[in-house]
């Protein structure tokens, strides 16, 4: 029996806090001014989750996000940042880098800080010690991981002492549903939010015939159907990227309605 999650505000882990089911990513920017304006428009619509990383465009993506926070008011935007594993390999380095990134962005805290990926020669325990130290110092409100598979996520949870892992940011789309087999059920059970990245397959889903067929029946677009499918799962938020105002509106149109169970099941088989 499928239960379609109809909420457009999703729980952030077990924190009691909620975030918008759709957030906006900031990788692959062609025009920074357009990205800035697109993010402002998203926040205006209530899409206030923004994802960035220190490695995106050599820090220029972070700067844009910082500008948005300044414009709309820091409390009106939920900022996720991601640090490279090497920078989280030990607490003093992590703290120094986190402070430098905050300065670069012109904000005093992140809402959520993740280790961007796993390096085989650095222990999971080291990332968690560094993230917890950064959280303890007040530089981030919450901590999490990215690109962690089930066993790695379990290890990360075991390594925590003071702060919970509230998010695992992983690839998840209608074309790539690997997480549905093990990671997603575990995340739901443990109350860990999934941030689905590359959720529209870099735009490829806009021309998918099966999505088009379903979209037509709902008066929606294939992209809206693709995002709706993801956020129909409990604890899943999606973070597509666009720097175009009209596509922000399109993402926004993935909210406020749900696919019926039959179409949902159809997509789960794509």
Ligand X SMILES: NC(=O)c1ccc[n+]([C@@H]2O[C@H](COP(=O)([O-])OP(=O)(O)OC[C@H]3O[C@@H](n4cnc5c(N)ncnc54)[C@H](OP(=O)(O)O)[C@@H]3O)[C@@H](O)[C@H]2O)c1
Distance CA 156, CA 114 (A): 12
Query: Does 87 interact with ligand X (rule: CB under 6 A)?
Result: no
CA distances from 251 to 14, 165, 192 (A): 26, 27, 23
**51 is a contact residue toward ligand X (CB under 6 A):** yes
CB atoms within 10 A of CB 162: 12
Cβ atoms of 42 and 24 within 8 Å: the answer is yes
Site string for ligand X, 109-148 (x = CB under 6 A): -------xx----------------------------xx-
Structure letter (DSSP) for residue 13: T
The pattern of x and - marking residues 207 through 226 that bind ligand X according to CB under 6 A reads ----------------x---
CB of 80 to ligand X, least distance (A): 8
- For residue 25, state whether it binds ligand X (rule: CB under 6 A): yes
- Asked if 203 is part of the footprint of ligand X (rule: CB under 6 A), the reply reads yes
**Phi then psi dihedrals of residue 50, to 5 deg:** -125, 135
Choose which of 10, 13, 22, 26 interacts with ligand X (CB under 6 A).
26
Please tell me whether residue 48 binds ligand X under the rule CB under 6 A. Answer: no
CB 189 within 8 A of CB 181: no
- Which residues, 6+ apart, have CB-to-CB distance to 208 below 8 Å? 174, 222, 226
Among 6, 28, 33, 158, binds ligand X (CB under 6 A): 28
DSSP helix/strand/coil, 26 = coil
Interface with ligand X (CB under 6 A) = 25-28, 51, 116-117, 146-147, 169, 197-203, 206, 223, 239-244, 247, 250
């Amino acid at each position: 029996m499928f239960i379609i999650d109809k909420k457009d505000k999703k729980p952030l882990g077990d924190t009691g806090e909620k975030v918008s089911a759709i957030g906006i990513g900031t990788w692959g920017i062609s025009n920074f001014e357009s990205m800035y304006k697109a993010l402002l428009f998203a926040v205006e619509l209530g899409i206030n989750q923004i994802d960035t990383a220190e490695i995106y465009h050599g820090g220029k993506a972070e700067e844009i996000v910082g500008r948005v926070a300044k414009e709309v008011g820091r409390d009106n935007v939920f900022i996720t940042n991601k640090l490279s594993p090497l920078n989280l390999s030990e607490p003093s380095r992590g703290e120094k880098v986190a402070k430098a990134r905050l300065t670069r962005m012109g904000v005093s805290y992140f809402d959520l800080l993740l280790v961007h990926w796993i390096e085989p020669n650095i222990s999971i325990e080291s990332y968690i010690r560094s993230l917890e130290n950064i959280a303890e110092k007040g530089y981030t409100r919450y901590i999490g991981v990215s690109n962690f598979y089930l066993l790695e996520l379990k290890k990360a949870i075991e390594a925590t002492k003071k702060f919970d892992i509230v998010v695992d940011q992983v690839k998840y789309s209608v074309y790539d549903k690997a997480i549905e087999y093990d990671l997603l059920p575990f995340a739901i059970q443990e109350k860990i939010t999934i941030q689905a990245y590359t959720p529209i397959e870099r735009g490829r889903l806009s021309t998918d015939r099966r999505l088009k067929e379903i979209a037509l029946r709902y008066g929606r677009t294939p992209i809206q159907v693709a995002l709706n499918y993801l956020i129909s799962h409990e604890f899943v938020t999606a973070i597509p990227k666009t720097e175009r105002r009209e596509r922000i509106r399109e993402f926004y149109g993935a909210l406020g309605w749900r696919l019926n169970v039959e179409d949902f099941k159809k997509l789960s088989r794509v």
